[in-house]
Structure 1
Amino acid sequence: MKISKLFATVSIAALSLSMLAGVSANASSKKDMHDMSSMKMDKKSSMSMNHSSMKMNKKSSMMMMDGLEMNMHSKLPKGLKKATNAKFKVGSKVTLKAKHMEGMYNAKATVAGVYKTDLYEIDFMPTNGGKMVKNHKWVVASELKAKGALKAGKSVTVLADHMYNMKGAKGKIVKVHKGPAYVVNFTDTKTHMVMKNHKWLTQSELKAR
């Protein structure tokens, strides 16, 4: 009888230990599953955030005008005669009244250059075979190649590189506007990016501030 009771006691103790081990293993398994789930969520969240950041960075690093990507490395023109009697001098603080592109109207700007030259509104076909760009404002005489005088209706080759796929494009003059022609630095009202040496604006598209 004593041996039988001892055996029963040992069996119960073993069973208890087995149950405790099972509970512990189950808890550990649940914890591991929770940790794995958290890792998956974190990875998914991180991927989503990174993807969103990529979209934002791509958007913020690219400016569009007339459906074409703008050249963000524009420089002041060389060889153009500077306008000495223009209403706004280099360094003048102005507000833009032009709507050539989104984020331009009412933008705060500084005049970076002012030149004695007429401006031309043109239609042109981008060199990448994209859609015809209509009524692009503006280019100046030195940025157009044509036979004879530059006037409305004249066929031209565009030499300007304000935007990619613009240089070398075939087009025609839609309108001629008397100078002076302005180059400005301005802060885009939508993206808050600073646009350096943006070409071109007319005097009537600037307002003193």
Structure 2
Amino acid sequence: MIRKRVLFVSIVLAIVFSLGACFDGIGEDTTQPEYSALPDENAQTEQADMVGDHQEMNHSSGEVPDDLEEAANPAYPVDSTATIQADHMPGMDGATATIGGAYETTAYSVSYTPVNGGEAVENHRWIIHEELQDAQAYPYAEGAAVNLDAEHMPGMKGASAAVDSVQQTTVYMVDFLDTETGEEITNHQWVTENELSP
């Protein structure tokens, strides 16, 4: 009888120690961080904020509104080249642009909150009058509330926006090589005439 009890206690102790070894470390976080490049991602986010998230732009849409009027005598005709003097996005300022289209219109810089829940975009350049939903016949003034019908960036189409500035000008659709990455950007919309130089 004693022998059976000793055997039973020995088996129980063996089981307890085995289970203890199996569960050793439970509750400890032994996983590696999911994002090992977190500092770099934060730096990229800060850079994105500085340029108004324009690296998410749909660079190569090429869709021109049907009612947009071609410029009769633009300073930079189609297929000519010019130097971009604007920093709507990284790699743009100083790039050599080939003109893909020149149009007479009203250009607006706008601030809006994307409909997809992204962060608010401040002073986006440029939305043209023909890219506004149910636009009135005459240009909007600074501070006016408008609805966007363009898809330059994710979450833009359908967003409510405030007009920050207004320019009656020639706008250009341009192709250029990104000066930072070497990526070919085609049909970028839009660059205004005063953002180009010979």
TM-score normalized by the length of structure 1: 0.65
| Pair 1:70-2:60 in alignment | no
Post-superposition CA distance 1:22-80 (Å, at most 9, x none): xxxxxxxxxxxxxxxxxxxxxxxxxxxxxxxxxxxxx9xxx996225222441140421
Cα drift, residue 207 of structure 1: 1.0
Match of 1:138 in 2: 126
Among 74, 95, 98, the alignment partner of 2:86 is 98
Match of 2:174 in 1: 184
CA 123–146 in structure 1, closer or farther in 2 if over 3 Å, else same = farther
Opposite residue 180 of structure 1, the aligned amino acid is T
Match of 1:204 in 2: 194
Secondary structure, in 3 states, of the residue corresponding to 1:142?
helix
Post-superposition CA distance 1:145-168 (Å, at most 9, x none): 256452211111111111111111
Opposite residue 99 of structure 2, the aligned amino acid is V
Match of 2:39 in 1: none
Opposite residue 81 of structure 1, the aligned amino acid is E
The residue correspondences of 1:47-196 to structure 2 (distance < 5 A) are 66-67=52-53, 69-79=56-66, 80-145=68-133, 148=136, 149=138, 150-196=140-186
* Structure 2 gap ranges (5+): 1-43
- CA RMSD, 1 decimal: 2.1
Question: Could you tell me how far apart the structure 1 residues matched to 2:63 and 2:151 are?
Answer: 12
Residues 131 and 149, structure 2, Cα contact 8 Å, conserved in 1: yes
Q: Which has the higher helix share?
A: 1
Secondary structure, in 3 states, of the residue corresponding to 1:178?
strand
Paired residues in the alignment total: 147
Residues 125 and 169, structure 1, Cα contact 8 Å, conserved in 2: yes
Residues 57 and 154, structure 2, Cα contact 8 Å, conserved in 1: yes
| Matched-pair identity in % | 37
Opposite residue 162 of structure 2, the aligned amino acid is K
Question: Could you tell me how far apart the structure 2 residues matched to 1:193 and 1:123 are?
Answer: 27
